[in-house]
Amino acid sequence: MDAKITKSRLGHMLSYDWIKILALCAVAVIVWILLFTTLAPRATAGQTFEIYCYPNTSMTSRGGDLDALHKSGALSGDVLDISVNELTDDGLTYTLPAHFSAGQGDVMFVSSYRYEAGKDEEDNPVYTSDLEQFVAGYTGYCVWLGEEEFPIEGYENNLNTYNYLESCRAYLAKYYPDGLDGEQDKAAVERDFRARIKGDNRYKREAQIAAGLIEEYSRLARLCEGYENVLGYLQDGTVSVQSVPVSVDADGDGTEETVELQVAFDLGNVPGLEHFVVSERSEDGVRTSAYVSMVVLNIRMQEEALRYEQITYLDSLVKESARLLAEES
């Protein structure tokens, strides 16, 4: 039988079967896309690190580079995606409530610079800040950083009202039973890691689990280091916990009073922070990092292992800012 492919035979086939060939190609592409979509790792809410910048505050291109954040240790390998959301005034009305109601959000960069926002009934100037406006509107989404109890009633079931740094220390204590300067309990780490990765298609084989477990040991060691470094920044004044005055019905009796909510890290003294975050809120409207604050958001309570990425992120932010400043000197 003569099965030789010639130009005439090929042309004859294409003249009659081109539709079938195109259909087969389309089916192959669709099958490939479905396989890729089904088998590719999907980032959970906790595996996506979401940064928000309040209006008049912005982040440089360095801040949203996931590869760089992985290399610097700012975020663990469990963070598979990152987003930077620079809000507008319209975004405050529509975007932010929608994102928060969907359980999104990790940190908010916002200015603490106080500006005149109008006059009171006696024609005296009324001052506020973007930080105060944000905290007043989203109190329940801001993580508590104060040493005393959360001062407003009605939030008893909200984990954000428990001291964030103390919660992190309690989490680490499960894996460092002899203290944070002691040995890691690797049996406990492996037990919890295996429970956590069920359903994660990155870990189908035992070899993948073994490799992931090594990364988990490193993640916890890095978190331990970051936690202790942040405590050091708070002690030497590089970073401070900021009190934000907010008028609320603290006792639920219908009478408003001003309470101080310790829900923000003041980053104004971090050397070189302008390499990452700046704000136009200042005396003369010049972009500066002098009034930048970072509010930790922790809306997703179900993924405890990923609730403390903000600590290593803050530690890296301080160190990388100093490094870039030193390179300019």
Interval 117-127: pLDDT, tens: 888 778 888 88
DSSP state of 251: T
Q: Are strands 48-53 and 81-86 parallel, antiparallel or unpaired?
A: parallel
Q: How many CB atoms lie within 10 A of CB 94?
A: 10
pLDDT band at 39 (very low <50, low <70, confident <90, very high): very low
Task: Give the residue, 299 or 132, on which the prediction is more confident.
Answer: 132
Return the SS3 of 302: coil
Q: Is 107 left (phi over 0), alpha (psi -120 to 50) or beta?
A: beta
Average pLDDT on 294-321 reads 88
Residue 214 pLDDT more than 70? yes
Percent of the chain with pLDDT over 90: 59
pLDDT at 25: 58
Convert 252-275 into a string of H (helix), E (strand) and C (coil): CCCCCEEEEEEEEEECCCCCCHHH
Task: Give the residue, 262 or 284, on which the prediction is more confident.
Answer: 262
For residue 44, what are the contacts with CB-CB under 8 A and spacing of at least 6? Answer: 303
Residue located via tokens 């407003």:
152
pLDDT digits (tens, 9 = 90+) for 136-194: 999 999 999 999 999 888 888 888 899 999 999 999 999 999 999 999 999 999 999 99
pLDDT band at 22 (very low <50, low <70, confident <90, very high): low
pLDDT at 284: 85
pLDDT digits (tens, 9 = 90+) for 141-156: 999 999 999 988 888 8
pLDDT band at 29 (very low <50, low <70, confident <90, very high): low
**Domains of the chain from N-terminus onward:** 48-162+239-328 (3.40.190)
Average pLDDT on 217-246 reads 96
pLDDT at 102: 84
Burial code (b: 16+ CB inside 10 Å, e: under 16) for 255-283 equals: eeeebebbbbbbbbebebbbbbbbbebbe
pLDDT at 226: 98
Task: Give the residue, 20 or 202, on which the prediction is more confident.
Answer: 202
Q: Considering Cα of 195, then 199, then 201, then 205, what sign does the dihedral take?
A: positive
pLDDT at 47: 84
Task: Give the residue, 275 or 28, on which the prediction is more confident.
Answer: 275
pTM (2 d.p.)? 0.85
Residue 309 pLDDT more than 80? yes
Residue 40 pLDDT more than 50? no
User: Average model confidence (pLDDT) for the chain?
Assistant: 86
Residue 231 pLDDT more than 60? yes
Percent of the chain with pLDDT over 70: 84
